[in-house]
């Protein structure tokens, strides 16, 4: 087994894609896109996406993490993973028409939650693209105001999100 260096990119079966940010005598410290910082054994089972063999720590963990977050925000649709509130897991959203002769529409609440989360995530990407676009300042402000109103409308669904207070 050849030791991977800091900056190597891997794909772990349990944690997903990540970047090695530190190497100790027994572990890799890996910052995973969806699971944050985890330590895994050097002999763990994972796929190497891109190997870096310079194992000298010339960059701090904070620098690597900050850079990775900035790159992901700028170039991908990946965003933070937000959990649904435990009380709704496995539940059903039922839309009951006023007319009793009509059948109600049922949707797994997990699926509905996913759709709301995807709308929010796509708004964030749109916001980033507007900010990076060649539009003039006033056009950017106008579009940002629309996006802000849409975010405001989405707050109705905050009850679905996991919260430390509930």
Give pLDDT tens digits along the chain (166 positions): 568 888 889 999 999 999 988 888 788 899 998 888 899 998 899 999 998 875 544 455 666 777 777 776 666 655 556 677 788 888 898 989 999 999 999 999 888 888 888 888 888 888 888 888 899 989 988 898 888 888 888 877 776 666 655 4
Query: Which residues neighbour 102 within 8 Å (Cβ) at sequence distance 6 or greater?
Result: none
> DSSP of 85-96, one letter per residue?
PGGGTT-EEEE-
Which sequence spans correspond to the domains of the chain? 8-50, 78-160
Query: Which residues neighbour 132 within 8 Å (Cβ) at sequence distance 6 or greater?
Result: 74
Cα–Cα distance, 128 to 140 (Å, whole number): 11
Q: Is the dihedral of CA 25, 14, 53, 59 positive or negative?
A: negative
pTM above 0.75, yes or no: no
């Amino acid at each position: 087994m050849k030791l991977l260096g800091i900056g190597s990119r891997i794909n772990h079966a349990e944690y997903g894609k990540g970047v090695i940010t530190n190497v100790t005598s027994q572990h890799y410290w890996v910052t995973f896109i969806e699971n944050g910082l985890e330590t895994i054994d050097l002999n763990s089972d994972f796929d190497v996406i891109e190997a870096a063999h310079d194992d000298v720590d010339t960059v701090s963990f904070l620098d690597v993490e900050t850079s990775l977050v900035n790159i992901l925000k700028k170039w991908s649709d990946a965003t933070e993973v937000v959990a649904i509130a435990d009380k709704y897991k496995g539940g059903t959203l039922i839309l009951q028409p006023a007319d009793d002769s009509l059948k109600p529409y049922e949707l797994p609440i997990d699926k509905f939650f996913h759709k709301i989360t995807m709308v929010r995530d796509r708004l964030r990407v749109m916001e980033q693209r507007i900010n990076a676009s060649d539009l003039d300042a006033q056009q950017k402000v106008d579009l940002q105001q629309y996006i802000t109103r849409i975010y405001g409308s989405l707050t109705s669904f905050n009850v679905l999100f996991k919260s430390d207070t509930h």
